[in-house]
Structure 1
């Protein structure tokens, strides 16, 4: 079996949320429990940090992994979905899962898959846990896939749980109120395990307090301890003064993730690291600084407010829900662009009406659809966009739309590519 044979088998045999959407989501932990039992309970053989939330969980996971790696720990990192290669999902010290490990894992466990019939995500989580156990990592950062309570990753007992921003996304599966969504995210709060909430949000706050009380978990709202002041920022880095209890905690803390929304993620990351230090982990200040200043290069993170070109300035971002798009639009506005050429696509299992209503009517749009079954057909996207007053042209592929934007944009204008993780995934320069 070649690597491509292996991927073809997985894509054909296992329902995959990335491709088909809600039909692939299993509302039960039974499959992952059965898989891991058959594999020797690998999830209990390494220390972990569990990271959930609506927006920011991927960035936060990568920042934590980068700092822990710089501190000298053999660090696993599990994230989803992937942008370019399946092996991006599972990393140890920034190195992607070896293709031959995946091949062996699938060959050895085909009968198990055919018996349990897991989803693609369930299989991938089991694979990650087994790989981290085999590699004997010191600690692994595990990002929740969707929700929390019923997410396949939720069979670990972490050192710390982290929940980032709560916003509207996947309402068909998680509920259509912030309280309902927060309740699903709060499902990763475990008995006696410290839980960190990155940002205090009025609607969600009580949900976390009640869950933490119920399971007797110490609860920390990171913004109660840490306050950030942006002192410098451009397309290459951000620099913050960090205050704790109104005293200067870290001066000139540099971050190579340049999305303005990172100001909501960084307090949670700092609080988790402080709790790990209390548990006896050695995380010197120089490791913290180096990890955050080089998080992208250490972990290979892509697609978060990433500059692709200077002339015209070309930026991509995987933000795709209301909160994510609002942050992107604020940051585009801060560039004071002469004109924005936006390459935009979406998925078909979400109501994008509110997102489309947020988009400025003065931008020039290049509508497209990613090459996955879950993509919203570009004709439907174009029609919905015209109904809210957006002006643009429909293209049958992401690459066509990007090429058209490049042809039309003047050197002093801005091209933005996004709307969906899967649109960003098809950028050739990424």
Structure 2
């Protein structure tokens, strides 16, 4: 990990990341929702918006999108063909190459603004070559600890590395200790202004139902009632973070934020509480995320019985995920997602033995297609979760397009 290779690569490309303003988002949970919200608000205001996210669900081109349209396969092939010698010379990693390609594509497409999701961490992530108008860190949780550290404080410190001198810094974590740590990191980096949840804005009266999440947002003594189509208590906080980024950037960006009530209905996010009845897809790959999915599932009142199809990478907290899912599903089918990297696939025998010891309603079906079919045969709602691989493989087999509106 480091910025030297991607920095040199972008220099060879003519520094395309300098051609447009950037909003940059990091965090363990919530960064995808915040990026999707920013994208919708900016596009709703008539701007041409580039969006860079990772990983993809079904097709690699989902990562690089302009105004809702993925980068074409022909354009991807042409770029890689042209720049392969430089990528090889520099020893660029997959993510470094993808990041450089995305930033180059956005410049070629003459976008008005770009919204970027951090891949992993923040400080040493390849996306951290940008100099953003505003950078935000959303909720911090335990993930990628082998790279980011064993404590929430260490993880937060890595993610705070995206705060830059003179740029707006938004602190979105709702835990007081982590929030204060992020604030100090932002101030130490010379960011300005530094906007903090609970201090510079307040979210209250959150109501979650099948149509979305409504909430009250109090800023500067004034309260607005807003609704996002994204479902879940924390979606109110994620929307508020996106709005704070625009508000902090000032000028035309703040003018867009003032239109949020009219623009928020345009928010879409693939693979997060993504409903295609009887299927429910969510890429939750840590225990906090899984607990949120279950809370949302119960709040919306989806029909029972509910069966969950679960596949988790073995270096994740699969025990915590299964325990969380068991609080909302009558049955759990554990399986193997075909695109899961072989060196990270979980041991289903170990999962089966552990679940039996815990008295959890877990059934093992190794074949992924058979697992989906079996779950569907006995459930009114089927939750597919555990990783991007699990959700993406299921969407592909069930012909559910991630970017379809």
Q: Shared fold (TM-score greater than 0.5)?
A: yes
* Aligned with 1:358 (options 324, 331, 354): 324
- 2:214 matched to 1:239? yes
* Aligned with 1:401 (options 371, 389, 396): 371
The number of residue pairs the alignment matches comes to 391
SS at match of 1:225: coil
Stretches of structure 1 lacking an aligned partner (at least 5 in a row) = 1-26
* Aligned with 2:346 (options 364, 376, 399): 376
SS at match of 2:393: coil
TM-score where L is the length of structure 1: 0.85
Q: Tell me the residue number matched to 1:176.
A: 150
Say whether the 8 Å CA contact 1:356–1:388 is kept in structure 2.
Answer: no
Q: Distance in 2 between matches of 1:170 and 1:232?
A: 32
Q: Distance in 2 between matches of 1:79 and 1:397?
A: 29
Deviation at 1:49, TM superposition (A): 0.5
Q: Tell me the residue number matched to 2:64.
A: 90
- 2:289 matched to 1:316? no
Say whether the 8 Å CA contact 1:308–1:429 is kept in structure 2.
Answer: no
Q: Distance in 1 between matches of 2:222 and 2:19?
A: 39
Q: Tell me the residue number matched to 1:307.
A: 275
Deviation at 1:338, TM superposition (A): 4.4
Deviation at 1:226, TM superposition (A): 2.9
SS at match of 2:255: coil
* Aligned with 1:293 (options 254, 265, 268): 265
Deviation at 1:407, TM superposition (A): 0.7
Q: Distance in 2 between matches of 1:405 and 1:101?
A: 39
Q: Distance in 1 between matches of 2:309 and 2:138?
A: 28
Q: How do 1:3-42 and structure 2 match up within 5 A?
A: 27-42=1-16
Deviation at 1:273, TM superposition (A): 1.8
* Aligned with 1:392 (options 349, 362, 374): 362
| CA 1:323–1:257: 2 relative to 1, 3 Å | same
- 2:184 matched to 1:210? yes
Q: CA RMSD in A?
A: 2.1
Deviation at 1:37, TM superposition (A): 1.4
Q: Distance in 2 between matches of 1:285 and 1:142?
A: 18
Deviation at 1:339, TM superposition (A): 3.4
| CA 1:384–1:109: 2 relative to 1, 3 Å | farther
Say whether the 8 Å CA contact 2:134–2:168 is kept in structure 1.
Answer: yes
Q: Tell me the residue number matched to 1:420.
A: 387
Q: Tell me the residue number matched to 2:231.
A: 258
Q: Which moved more, 1:390-399 or 1:191-200?
A: 390-399
Q: Tell me the residue number matched to 2:202.
A: 227
Q: Tell me the residue number matched to 1:144.
A: 118
Q: Tell me the residue number matched to 2:37.
A: 63
Deviations 1:351-377 (A, max 9, x none): 433333434377311111111223324
